[in-house]
Structure 1
Amino acid sequence: MKLRRGALRAAVGLALLPLLLGQASAVEPISLGLAIAGAAASALTGFISYPRLYCYFRECCLQRHDRRVAAALQENLDKRLFGQHLVSKVVVKAVKGFLNNSNVKKPLTLSLHGWTGTGKNFVSKIVAESIYKRGLQSKYVHQFVATLHFPHAHNINLYKDQLQSWIRGNVSICPRSLFIFDEMDKMHAGLIDSIKPFLDYYEFLDGVSYRQAIFIFLSNAGAEKITEVALDFWRNGKRREDIQLQDMQNALSVSVFNNKNSGFWHSTLIDRNLIDYFVPFLPLEYRHVKMCVRVEVESRGYAVDEDILTRIADEMTYFPREERIYSDKGCKTVDAKLDYYYDF
């Protein structure tokens, strides 16, 4: 309360200065300058010392209230993510529970798996936007792409050192840092194990606590296993919405662990149970593709033309070859196809 009153008095003082300038002729210029400088300094001190006011104008670590994060995350996923009932349920619960826990024992670690175009990058983007207003552009959100940031196998030891230094330095600045690793299926085996200490249950490592950080991994690895389960449900006349996390989580983690083309191949992160959730993204059906097209059309401000929606969905290729149930690119090429049909 004292900080608030101090900031308020300083702000009021600055606001009244212009009214006093009419009497400036009776005041020496130097005295007036010192008065203005003093009032400005007092206002700035109050401004900086009152965190909520400061963070209104500048991005801060731990900026949004935990309940607001969960509400924003749920709303965005409900409106813009289709065909992924497991993702919506698991991600919201995991993030909400983690942020509401004042005594977490380790960082939150999510591993998102599924085919291209099913929504993995989109969900990581939504999580970032829910926690920080600037989303992926926030200085507290760090994104790594395997083929861009770690392209050469012979430099793996250098990459390990650089990755450790980057994470250590940024968590020291902001405990609630978010790290996103894309293309885990293309990452060199063993590289990701270099961050194992940061994901473990240590209270401090060299004076730094990593327990409030969030790590998200994105990978195509395990997509075959996910499709296998989904297809089995479909062939047995069961709804995809009846698929439960336990129907595939164990099989998914084993599949990823034993995949030699995955950055998680025999990874200690899996072996030591440091990944909290393996989140399966189901392959998208025809109806989900149409939903994606509709939302994209509306977001661009175009009038929805049902004929165009149907034509775009029909142009997608689907698998398996006999049943043609799932889009092989998910919703990934929707943007490009819309550019063609709505080229005014």
Structure 2
Amino acid sequence: MGDQDLSDSGSEEQQEEQEEQQPVKENGVYNFSQLSASVQAVVRIRQKYQALKKRRLEIASSQAQSTFSPQRSTSPKIFTFDGPVASPTLLEKEKRKKKKRKTRRVLYPSGRVRKGGPKQERSWAKSCLFFLSIILFLQVYNAIENLDDHVLKYDMEGLEKVLTREVFGQHEARENLLSQLRDYLLTYVHSKPLVLSLHGPTGVGKSHLGRLLAQHFRYMVGERLVLQYYVRHHCPSEEQVHACVQSLSALVSEMVTQAEDEEKIPIFVFDEVEHMPRPLMDKLHELIHASHTNEYLNAIYVLISNLGQDDITKFVLHNSSSTAAESRTRVSRELVPLLQHSMVRHHPVWRDAEILPLMLLEKSHVMQCFMDEMSREGFYPDQAHIERLAGEISYYFTGGKEFSRTGCKQVVAKVNLL
């Protein structure tokens, strides 16, 4: 009975499902109680698609976690009764770090007012210091501009070009001379006059250099502030020494007074100082070291002589094989102190003088003298002719070099014979 009842109930359920699936006709129109088979198929496909999509997302998230998580060790796990500990993800770690970085908000107790820091009062000392710094800067800048303007009065660049073009073979002496003049002419007020002493053998260009200096400063400061004193010409005999002393004193006094009024520096060039009488040398020393008035302190004295020429000749011949740098160093360390000592023994006027030795001229320098003189006289400077004329002069032969015994002294006479 039981089996029959079950079969009957099953058959009834099947009939009910078939009836539910079949459309019912009401008023001549079919009415579907459930979804059609095609719609059900679409729903099933959509559910499968969502299930596959969810599964793919789970697989991708598991792969991402596996890339950041360390590799599993192959060592056997130790059994513990503790449950699995969940490792924090990267996002949680970053959130924790951000929370730590955040500064805590300062809370003030209720009923109290927040007190501000101490008020900074305005410091007048800082303002005064800043103002004084500006004034000092303007004064220094103005002083520098005035120094440049004072040097421009004498055109030292033009003098350098003239000496480079006219004086041969005396590079070191020329540079020292220009350096001394530039430093002294930077300002008008000085504590002592500048004394430059040119020494060298015959024909090396001492007198020519003195003439170029006098000519340049005559053009720059005027004829009345430049004195070119030749001892044999201005004081030829010993009977006139007393008169020469008085005239020199009056002339120098007049020139320094005029230079003081015009705010310029006079220059005195004394040539052939080795022939100057002792009383005249004493008067010159007195004028150079005169300190009773300020106008005597602002002056330039150039002393030209052949005193010490033997020491210069021996030094050049002994160091002929040395390089230019070594020769320059030995000149400042050995030759200049030797000349200073011998000059002071001759007269104390050289005690505070700047010694500028002029060296012997080589054959190439003599050839330059011939070329310059022939160009001045209107002759064509033929190289073969110049070499022939330069070969007629006597030389010192040492260290593979030829040094002229008389320098360029005979150049003018030989060119005049052409």
TM-score of the pair, normalised by structure 2: 0.57
Structure 1 pair 312/240, CA: closer, same or farther in 2 (3 Å)? farther
Q: Distance in 1 between matches of 2:231 and 2:357?
A: 20
Q: CA deviation at 1:91?
A: 0.5
1:248 paired to 2:248: no
Deviations along 1:118-152, one digit per CA (max 9) or x if unpaired, are 111111122223323289x9332212222222233
Gap change, CA 1:169 and 1:285, over 3 Å in 2: same
Name 1:326's counterpart in structure 2. 403
The equivalent of 2:352 in structure 1 is 274
Inter-partner Cα distance in structure 2 for 1:121 and 1:85 = 16
Mapped contact 2:197–2:302 kept (Cα < 8 A): yes
Of the candidates 220, 232, 247, which is equivalent to residue 147 of structure 1?
A: 232
Q: Distance in 2 between matches of 1:309 and 1:190?
A: 46
Which is greater in Rg?
2
Q: 1:242 to 1:69 in 2, by over 3 A?
A: farther
User: Are 2:360 and 2:403, in contact at CA under 8 Å, matched by a contact in 1?
Assistant: yes
Structure 2: distance between partners of 1:290 and 1:318: 13
Structure 2: 5+ residue stretches without partners: 1-148
Partner of 1:238: 322
What is the letter of the counterpart of residue 198 of structure 1?
L
Question: Which residue pairs with 2:256 in the alignment?
Answer: 171
Shift, 1:82, TM fit:
1.4
Aligned residue type for 2:349: L
Alignment correspondent of 1:69: 155
Aligned partner of 1:156 in structure 2 is 241
Q: Which runs of 4+ in 1 moved over 6 A?
A: 320-324
2:275 alignment partner, one of 179, 186, 208: 186
Take 1:107 and 1:320, find their aligned partners in 2: how far apart are those partners?
41
Query: What is the rounded CA distance, in whole Å, between the counterparts of 2:306 and 2:397 in structure 1?
Result: 18
Deviation at 1:322, TM superposition (A): 11
**Paired residues of 2:150 and 2:186 also in contact (CA < 8 A):** no
Aligned length: 262
SS state at 1:83 partner = coil
Query: Superposed, which structure 2 residues align to 1:32-51 within 5 Å?
Result: none
Letter in 1 for 2:375: E
CA RMSD, Structure 1 to Structure 2 (Å): 2.7
> Aligned partners of 2:188, 2:336: CA distance in 1, in Å?
27
Query: Using a 3 Å threshold, how does the CA distance of structure 1 residues 154 and 257 change in structure 2: closer, same or farther?
Result: farther
- Residues 161-195 of structure 1: per-residue CA shift (max 9 Å, x gap): 22211111222223422211111111123421212
- Identical columns (%): 25
Q: CA deviation at 1:256?
A: 2.6
Contact kept, 8 Å, 1:85 with 1:241, in 2: the verdict is no
- Of 301, 304, 313, 2:381 maps to 304
Which residue matches 1:138? 223
Kept after mapping to 2: 8 A contact 1:233/1:240: no
Paired residue type of 1:170: M
TM-score normalised per structure 1: 0.69
Contact 1:200 1:274 (C-alpha < 8 Å) held by counterparts: no
- In the alignment, structure 1 segments of 5+ residues that lack a partner are 1-63, 259-264
Question: CA 1:324–1:154 in 2, change beyond 3 Å: closer, same or farther?
Answer: farther
State the AA in 1 paired with 2:190.
Answer: V
Deviation of 1:229 (Å): 1.1
The Cα of 1:160 is off from its aligned counterpart by 2.1
